[in-house]
Amino acid sequence: MRKLVIWNDPRYRAWFFQILAVLLVGGFFATVIANTVDNLNQLNVASGFGFLQHTAGFGISQTLIEYSEASTYGRAFLVALLNTLLVAGIGIVFATVLGFLVGIARLSSNWLVAKLATVYIETFRNIPLLLQILFWYTAVLSNLPAPRDSMQFGGMLLNRRGLYAPAPVGEPGFEYVMLAFAVALLGIIILRRLSERKRMHTGAGLPVLFPGLGLVFGVPLLVFWLAGSPLHFEVPQLRGFNFVGGLRAVPELLALVFALSIYTASFIAEIVRSGIQAVNWGQSEAALALGLRRPEVLRLVVVPQALRVIIPPLTSQFLNLTKNSSLAAALAYPELASVFAGTVLNQTGQAVEVLAITMAVYLSLSLLTSMAMNFYNSRIALVER
């Protein structure tokens, strides 16, 4: 065979292009970094992460951990991060519940219910999320009554300053109740194992549902009674123009949670619908032919297969919801994008560091999620011959 000229040999070509790419990207970053350093020197902006130890000097309206104006920027970052996770956590729970309900409703044999679900999905997923957030915040929540004529449901109060709920306060001895609860959960796991083992041997398992419920509710309640009811509720009180005490969710949080859950639920509903439809009807027929009852068919045959289709896109919706919580920047709800990439950035002027930290947080959240996802996928993937 004739020897190839070096510039026609694919291997050398590949090397050449790859080295070229590395040089180009490296050169690009070198220029950018050099320019940035020049610019920062000209602007006299400090660099480095030392600012995280400086006093922040601004207040935050909703904090999960202790925070005051004398706290550091680092503390403000933590507060903001926790608030992001709070919005995302609540939003994910509501969006999942609502999304599953709507998704199942869309497949209902009831014409009206199916149509209502379709209208819901088509309405909310075609309107920008930011618009929905602003609508809830400006058009709905700020038209609520003032604190003195709050709306009441159960022990909860709703007014234009937010949603107030009684705060549970544990007294000494309450830790035993929590411990009893943990023990009960452990008991259920053991019970299920035993039942499974018995089913493998004899074909009939132990009853799990009612003993389990008894464990979860009965044991902690018993301990609660034995320890002398070590819990009271701190009810919010009207002092002057505002309520004091109890748990409070600021209206910004409410607007965000409403909009995020309603918007994301419309996407989750579609995922759930397609997941259920992806399970072949023959699977249900085969299961019925084997003598399983309807609920068992759903629980043991349809749902596990549907979940395999549902869960990967579902997690990416959870991730979207988390990233979309950054739209709080438009409402000044104190989470990462608004407190850290907003207030802190403006006060310190250290745009590079602040944005780098913010983006790194979101990036690691999504990388962690996709890692968990890949792990889950490899566990549930169909084992093919």
Partner 1 sequence: MSFVRKSYLPETSPPLLSVGVLGWLKANLFSSVGNTLLSLLGLYMLWVIVPPLIEWALLDAVWQGSGREACLVENAGACWAFVAAKFGQFMYGRYTFEERWRVDLVFLVGALTVGLLMIGRMPGRRYLAVFGLVIYPVLAYFMLTGGAFGLVEVETSLWGGLLLTFVVASVGIVVSLPLGVFLALGRRSKMPVMRTLSVIYIEAWRGVPLITVLFMASVMLPLFLPPGTNFDKLLRVLIGVTLFSSAYMAEVVRGGLQAIPRGQYEAASALGLGYWRTNLLIIMPQALRLVIPGIVNTFIGLFKDTTLVMIVGLFDFLGSVQVNFSDANWATPQTAASGYAFAALVFWIICFGMSRYSMRLESRLNEGTRRA
**Taking the complex as a whole, how short is the minimal distance between the CB of residue 60 and partner 1, in angstroms?**
19
Q: Which residues pair with 231 in a beta bridge?
A: 170
Asked if residue 244 binds partner 1 (CB under 8 A), the reply is: no
Asked if residue 341 binds partner 1 (CB under 8 A), the reply is: yes
**Taking the complex as a whole, how short is the minimal distance between the CB of residue 125 and partner 1, in angstroms?**
8
Asked if residue 108 binds partner 1 (CB under 8 A), the reply is: yes
Asked if residue 306 binds partner 1 (CB under 8 A), the reply is: no
Q: What residue type is assigned to position 268 of the chain?
A: I
In angstroms and rounded to an integer, the radius of gyration of the C-alpha atoms of the chain is 28
> Would you say 88 and 321 are in contact if contact means Cβ atoms under 8 Å apart?
yes
Q: C-alpha distances in angstroms, 22 versus 16, 19, 30, 32, 173?
A: 10, 5, 12, 15, 63
Asked if residue 78 binds partner 1 (CB under 8 A), the reply is: no
Asked if residue 343 binds partner 1 (CB under 8 A), the reply is: no
Asked if residue 352 binds partner 1 (CB under 8 A), the reply is: yes
**Taking the complex as a whole, how short is the minimal distance between the CB of residue 274 and partner 1, in angstroms?**
13
Q: C-alpha distances in angstroms, 37 versus 243, 351, 352, 354?
A: 50, 12, 10, 16
| Count of beta carbons in the 10 Å neighbourhood of residue 41 | 10
Q: Which residues pair with 72 in a beta bridge?
A: 55
HSE-up of residue 83 (Cα within 13 Å, Cβ side): 33
Cβ-based neighbours of 207, under 8 Å, separated by 6 or more: 195
- Sole binder of partner 1 in the list 111, 153, 210, 241 (CB under 8 A): 111
Asked if residue 332 binds partner 1 (CB under 8 A), the reply is: no
Question: For residues 35 and 55, which CB has a smaller minimum distance to partner 1 in the complex?
Answer: 35
Question: For residues 35 and 152, which CB has a smaller minimum distance to partner 1 in the complex?
Answer: 35
Question: Which three-class secondary structure state does DSSP give residue 27?
Answer: helix
Residues comprising the chain, all counted: 385
Interactions with partner 1, residue window 362-381 (CB under 8 A): 362-363, 365-367
Query: What is the maximal distance between C-alpha atoms in the chain?
Result: 95
Asked if residue 216 binds partner 1 (CB under 8 A), the reply is: no
**Taking the complex as a whole, how short is the minimal distance between the CB of residue 32 and partner 1, in angstroms?**
5
- Sole binder of partner 1 in the list 6, 131, 169, 189 (CB under 8 A): 131
**Taking the complex as a whole, how short is the minimal distance between the CB of residue 121 and partner 1, in angstroms?**
11
Cβ-based neighbours of 315, under 8 Å, separated by 6 or more: 369, 370, 372, 373
Which one of the spans 60-68, 121-129, 243-251, 287-295 is the region binding partner 1 (CB under 8 A)?
121-129
- What is the contact surface with partner 1 in residues (CB under 8 A)? 14, 17-18, 21-22, 25, 32, 35-36, 38-40, 42, 108-113, 116, 122-123, 126-132, 134-135, 138-139, 143, 323-324, 326-327, 329-330, 337, 341, 345, 351-352, 355, 358-359, 362-363, 365-367
